A = this chain, B = another copy of it.
Amino acid sequence: MPRRRITQADVAAMAGVSQATVSFVLNDRLPAGVHISAETRQRVLDAIRITGYSANPVAQRLAGGRNQIIGVFTYEATFPGGGRDFYGPFLVGIEHAAEQLGIDILLFTSARVVDGRRRLTRDGWQRLGIADGCLLLGQHEDRSELQHLLDTNYPFAFIGKRTSEGGRLPYVGADYVAATRHAVERLIALGHQRIGYVGELGTDQPTLDRLDGYRSTMHDAGLSSRLVTEEDPAATAAAAVDQGLTALVVAPERDAEELYDALLLRGLTVPGDVSLLLLGQPQRRLRRPQEWSGFAIPREEMGARALQLLSRLIANQDLPEQDQHQLLDCAVVEGRTVAPPRDRTAPGDDAALAPGAPQSRAQTTP
């Protein structure tokens, strides 16, 4: 173990060539007009092996090269509210892909948090430059920040579908439309007709997609959409009762567990009287995630795929459209909160319950 780190100059000296030659051999790319003979090339490679040289990533980067570091930026401040449960799986996927690609991950934890979201201001921009590119995570991205990324041609990719900026934003997302569609179809197949959508009418992409999936599926089935937008779980439960809904698809931003409790309080059983279907996974950890019927976002795979996408963006200049915008399927979660509607069978007819459905109310609590 030498005291001073070995540089290209050291390798060059040993091989009897110039530092530039070493750099050319390493990058295996001859910038038009430069020629290296096979023999020289081999001498350099030998010297590299003998000295155990490896490039200094800092210098590499400063000189305008790549350094195999990819940044991860989360718009949401991760910690308040245990967002780690939600974002963790993405990171796991990212790390997994990084390991395979021989890439290091830089977490931009230093970015200032303003109004509960991280901002990419002044030093933020500079810090991005450490990495070859950056993965962006979270809902509330900032338009001007995006514009800057595009302007500077800095490689980046989103985790989560993005349609703004004229489709110029590369992303790997989850197919909420199809998943929601599938969920609603599942309820319809069981015989439900009065199916409500519980959630707020935001303009974020997941919400738009879920609403799209819900509305179009209901429409195709000749059923009418019923949106329940009450904030309060008790009010939601009341609305469901008033409208005689037999099933609810619930946006994960809503407190599903509290809705469940509110329904029980009103004397309704789940899924006996009302079926509940969760459209995704909430930020908060559920007490018994497996019990909830719904679908699961393939978060680990999204992370891994996003890193791979970004890696290719960095290598190639441009990718075919279908690679830049990837939508992954969500896995169906069977769960125990879905059953045929009561009104199609004799009241109290337990045979109508889904297979394996629990018999007592206490055990049903997901």
Asked if A243 is at the interface of the complex by the 8 Å CB criterion, the answer is no
A99 beta carbon closer than 8 Å to chain B: yes
Report whether B110 and A107 are in contact in the complex, using a CB–CB cutoff of 8 Å.
no
Contacts of A110 in B (CB 8 A): 68, 98-99, 102-104
Task: Give A64 Cβ to nearest chain B Cβ, in Å.
Answer: 10
Given the contacts A105-B106, A110-B98, A84 and B79 also touching, CB distance less than 8 Å: no
A124, closest chain B residue (CB)? B54
**Size category, A interface:** 35 or more
Chain B nearest CB from A114 CB (Å) reads: 13
Q: Is A201 an interface residue, CB under 8 A from the partner?
A: no
Given contact pairs A103-B110, A109-B103, A110-B103, A129 touches B56 in the complex (Cβ within 8 A): yes
Separation of A306 and B298 alpha carbons in the complex (Å): 33
A55 in the interface, Cβ–Cβ < 8 Å?
A: yes
Task: Check if B54 sits within 8 Å of A122, measured CB to CB.
Answer: yes
Which chain A residues numbered 213 to 258 have a C-beta less than 8 Å away from chain B? none
Assess whether A105 is in contact with B104, with CB atoms less than 8 Å apart. no
If over half of A's interface residues share one DSSP class (helix, strand or loop), that class is named, otherwise mixed; here it is mixed
- For window 90-108 of chain A, which residues contact chain B by CB distance below 8 Å? 92, 95-96, 98-99, 102-108
With A84-B92, A106-B104, A107-B107 known as contacts, the answer to whether A58 contacts B61 (CB < 8 A) is yes
Name the CB-closest residue of B to A103: B110
Complex: chain B residue closest to A79, CB-CB? B96
Q: Is A13 an interface residue (CB 8 A)?
A: no
Residues B99 and A57 in contact, CB atoms below 8 Å apart:
no
A59 lies within 8 A of chain B by Cβ: yes
A169 at the binding interface (Cβ < 8 Å): no
**Interface 0/1 of A107-141, CB less than 8 Å to B:** 11110010000000011011101100000000000
Q: Is the CB of B95 within 8 A of A107?
A: yes
How far apart sit A152 and B126, CA to CA, in the bound complex (Å)?
A: 29
C-alpha gap A170/B77 in the complex (Å)? 30
Enumerate 8 A-B pairs (CB-CB under 8 Å) in ascending A order: A58-B61, A59-B62, A69-B106, A84-B88, A99-B110, A103-B109, A104-B108, A105-B107
The 8 closest A-B pairs by CB, nearest first: A54-B123, A98-B109, A105-B107, A54-B122, A102-B110, A104-B110, A58-B61, A58-B62
